[in-house]
Structures are given as structure tokens and as C-alpha cells.
Amino acid sequence: MTGWLQALLFPPRCRLCGAATAADPALCQACLDDLPWLESGCGRCARPLPAGGDTRWCGACLKRPPAFDAATAVLHYQSPADYLIQRLKFSGELAVAPVLARLLAGKIATRASALPDLLIPVPLHRARLHERGFNQATELARHLGRRLSVPVDHRLCRRNRHTQPQSLTPLRLRRRNLRGAFSLSGELPAAHVAIVDDVMTTGHTADELARVLRRAGAARVEVWVIARSGH
């Protein structure tokens, strides 16, 4: 079926409100306007900060800077961003991935600084991957990579342990819960890399993975996430 005929018979529906929309990604303009856009965040970890620029650091980064150099997030982890991410992650609605990736790619495409040489999705442990059937971070990275013309390597980095979800781990144990969680299966082929994930909450996961990438020789490590929670 040709594209226009398909569009006529099955017009894309907004992933949030169900309205017919010509827009790709399939979010209508009204829903796009209502998204919780993250306008101003910490220059290091993207934690939401009051308006006034992305150059200042939050208190946590001033006290203890993370192993990554900079983070980019496009949305607050609030409704309906959380709903879209959960649909992707837990309902296996893979069609949500390009919608979210396009939002983040749009933000990244406007920046002046150089893009990374490689995108590395945060890996799932193989037991979790088997259970879910896909890694949402890999799905997002693939779409981001295609849009921004940056290669993706989803095999290089491994998750060694089936760690307890961070959300179920007491705050003070979260860092310890991740120690030794990641390793690389080969040489890091790039000096400037970006870790890709769906959400960043405490930042400990990205921090631990960034530490591993630095040890492997990365000169600059970024973190790209769709949504950032304020905690």
C-alpha cells in the first residue's frame, strides 16, 4: 500500500489523546504543547532547576560531581511523560520509542557542541531482557542514532548482575547496589560517547556506567535521557 493511501485509510492517531493527526511523531500539536518540557536543568546532571540557564550546577553535583560530563533530558518525569515511558517499557508499545526519541533528538540537534561518536544504551541484564523481549534504552538509542547520524553499540556494554530495581532499593544502598554492575565486552572504539536511557532518577546508574566507560578510556561521557525526575 502506498504511503498516502495508508495515511488516508489509517490516519496516525495521537499516542496520548487518540485524535487523528498528520504529525509524525504521532502526538497531536495540543498534546505536544502540554508536555512537561524540561526548560532548565543542572548543567551537569540535568536535574530540574528554577529557570535561569543550564550552566549552573545543582547542590548534589557541586558536592560530588558525577563521572559523566553532562546530561541532556527533554521532559520532566511527570504526567504524561511517565505514562508514555511506561507504555514503552512495560506494555511493549515499541511505537512510542520513535515518538520520544524525536523529542530528544530535536533538542540535541539545536546545540552547538559536537555530537558524540557513539551511543551506548544502558544494558539490561540478560534475564530481564529475556523477560521483556527488548531493551527500551536500545530502542531509543536506535532512533536517536538514525536521526542524528551517530552509530549505536548495544553489545559492547553488559550488565553483569540482575540488580534489584533502584526504585526498590533504600536510598543509601543504591550506589552499592550498582557497584560492578557493568562491564565492557571489548575495547571502547570512541573517545566521546553518550549513554542513552529512558529516565534518570538518582543518576547512580548513569554514574556507574560512566565510570566504566572512563576506565576504558572515554574522554567525554554524556548522558541522554528522555525524562529527568527531580529527586
Instruction: Identify the burial level of 139 via C-beta atoms within 10 angstroms of its C-beta, where 0-12 means exposed, 13-18 middle and 19 or more buried.
Output: buried
Task: Work out how close the CB of 135 gets to Zn ion at its nearest, in angstroms, rounded to a whole number.
Answer: 26
Q: Which is nearer to Zn ion, 135 or 229 (CB)?
A: 229
Tell me how far apart the alpha carbons of residues 88 and 130 are, in angstroms, rounded to a whole number.
Answer: 16
Q: Which is nearer to Zn ion, 103 or 150 (CB)?
A: 103
Does the protein bind Zn ion through residue 84 (CB under 5 A)?
no
Other Cβ atoms less than 10 A from the Cβ of 66: the count is 20
Task: Work out how close the CB of 25 gets to Zn ion at its nearest, in angstroms, rounded to a whole number.
Answer: 11
Q: Which of residues 12-51 bind Zn ion (CB under 5 A)?
A: 14, 16-17, 19, 28, 31, 42, 44-45, 47
Helix, strand, or coil here: 172?
A: helix
Q: Which of residues 51-70 bind Zn ion (CB under 5 A)?
A: 58, 61
Q: Which of residues 99-138 bind Zn ion (CB under 5 A)?
A: none
Tell me how far apart the alpha carbons of residues 116 and 136 are, in angstroms, rounded to a whole number.
Answer: 20
Other Cβ atoms less than 10 A from the Cβ of 29: the count is 12
Name residues whose C-beta falls within 8 Å of residue 129's C-beta, 6 or more positions apart in sequence.
135
Q: Is the dihedral of CA 207, 208, 210, 211 positive or negative?
A: positive
Task: Work out how close the CB of 132 gets to Zn ion at its nearest, in angstroms, rounded to a whole number.
Answer: 27
Does the protein bind Zn ion through residue 87 (CB under 5 A)?
no
Q: Which is nearer to Zn ion, 99 or 152 (CB)?
A: 99
Does the protein bind Zn ion through residue 81 (CB under 5 A)?
no
**Interacting residues toward Zn ion by CB under 5 A:** 14, 16-17, 19, 28, 31, 42, 44-45, 47, 58, 61
